[in-house]
Amino acid sequence: MKRAGLAGVFLIAILVPFFLNQYWLHVAIISLFYVMMASSWNLIAGYTGQVSFAHAAFAGVGAYTSGMLALYGGVHPALGIIAGTLLAGVLGLGLGGLCIRMGGIYLSLTTLGFSEILRIIITNEEQWTRGTMGLQIPGVFSVYSKTHYYFLFLAVTLAFLVLMRRLLNSDTGLAFRAVLNDELAASTSGIDTVRVRLMAFTSSSAMAGLAGGLYGHYLMLITPDIPSLGQMFLVLAMAVIGGMGSFAGPIIGAIALEFLSEYIRIYGEYHLLLFGLVALVIARFAPSGMVGLWEKIWRRR
């Protein structure tokens, strides 16, 4: 039953480019980017209970590293994206190593600071980044085709989700959940809680770097909006509305919110406000999100 469902979703995902026009195909590609972002953020927030506000910033690290390597060094985007992923991971390891042992509040504060600082640096170093104007960078393919990009994003997203699923089902995933359930009991059962949290944060940050690198080479124009707090909020809202701590939640939340935001595009300036209010209501009254609500209804029947 479950397998059949997954196969169905997979089939639909493959057929998508043959049904959607260029505009909606673009929206589909962007939603895949958000699926990667929200799922990997869920890895730390939903599975180990730590709130990072630097997820968009790490996507920015990925996008700018790969973009600038391609533009100034002629490095192939494939290599550049790997470099961006690694750099995001290393920065995550460094930041996390400094503050995770001090507790969750410190991680949130430090990542918020990192996010602001990265935005300031990118905005100010205009000779390299062209500031808020944005930097034009080469794409992945020599011939531009949205269908190609769609399949590239789909393949990476699927690989990404399979990898995450494996991680969560491994001993490491077990340790993640033990730390989330009860930190003290986990540590007196032999779990190195600081290392577990650091591992979750580092891998999640690297994943954001990967998603950001791909995203940049798709848009071919990277701006300080990628590592902005507004972007961070969108990712957080997708995970919260979809359902944190469940595997499907952030995936559903990302796709739903990205498509929804295309419909409410006309209300431009109310966009973030509206999502904010929805996310606030969900976080306050249904902390396990749409997936949690669905399960509740299902059980009642």
Partner 1 sequence: MKPVLEGRDVSRSFGGLMALHRVSFQLFEGEIVGLIGPNGSGKTTLFNAITGVFPPQEGEILLDGKPISRLKPFQICRMGIGRTFQIVRPFLKMTCLENVLVGIVGKDEKGTSREERVEQALLELEFVGLGGQSHRLAGSLTLLQKKMLELARALATRPRVLLLDEVLAGLNPSEILQALHMIEAIRVKRKVTIFWVEHVMGAIMTACQRIIVLDQGRKIAEGPPDEVRSNPRVIEAYLGGADA
Partner 2 sequence: MSEFLMFLTNGLVMGGINAISALGVSLVVGIMRVINFAHGEMYIFGGYLSYQLAVGAGIPPVLSMLCSVAAVFLGGLAIEKWLIRPTYGDEMYSLIITFILSIILQNAALLIFGPYPVKPPSLVFGATNIFGLFHYGNQRLLSLALAAGIIGAIMYLVRRTWFGKSVRAISQDREMAAMLGVDHLKVNMISFGLGCALAASAGAIIAPIFPVTPSGSGAVSLTAFVVVVLGGMGSLKGCIAGGVILGVLENLGAAYISTDYRHIFGFIILIGVLVLRPWGLFGKRI
Alpha helices in the chain (DSSP H): 2-19, 22-48, 55-73, 77-99, 104-124, 126-129, 146-169, 171-181, 183-187, 193-219, 229-242, 248-263, 271-285, 289-300
Confirm or reject binding of residue 187 to partner 1 (CB under 8 A): yes
Site for partner 1 in 153-182 (CB under 8 A): 171, 174-175, 177-178, 181-182
The item of partner 2, partner 1, none sharing an interface with residue 69, based on CB under 5 to 8 Å by kind, is none
Site for partner 2 in 67-126 (CB under 8 A): 98-99, 101-102, 104-106, 108-110, 112-114, 116-117, 120-121, 124
Give the shortest CB-174-to-partner 1 separation in angstroms. Answer: 6
- Dist CA 26 CA 284 (whole Å): 33
- Size of the chain in residues: 301
Site for partner 1 in 191-210 (CB under 8 A): 191-193
Give the shortest CB-183-to-partner 1 separation in angstroms. Answer: 10
Confirm or reject binding of residue 271 to partner 1 (CB under 8 A): no
- Dist CA 82 CA 40 (whole Å): 17
Confirm or reject binding of residue 188 to partner 1 (CB under 8 A): yes
Token pair for 230: 């507004």
Q: Closer CB to partner 1, residue 58 or residue 176?
A: 176
Contact 67, 217 (CB under 8 A): yes
Residues binding partner 1 (CB under 8 A) = 171, 174-175, 177-178, 181-182, 184-193
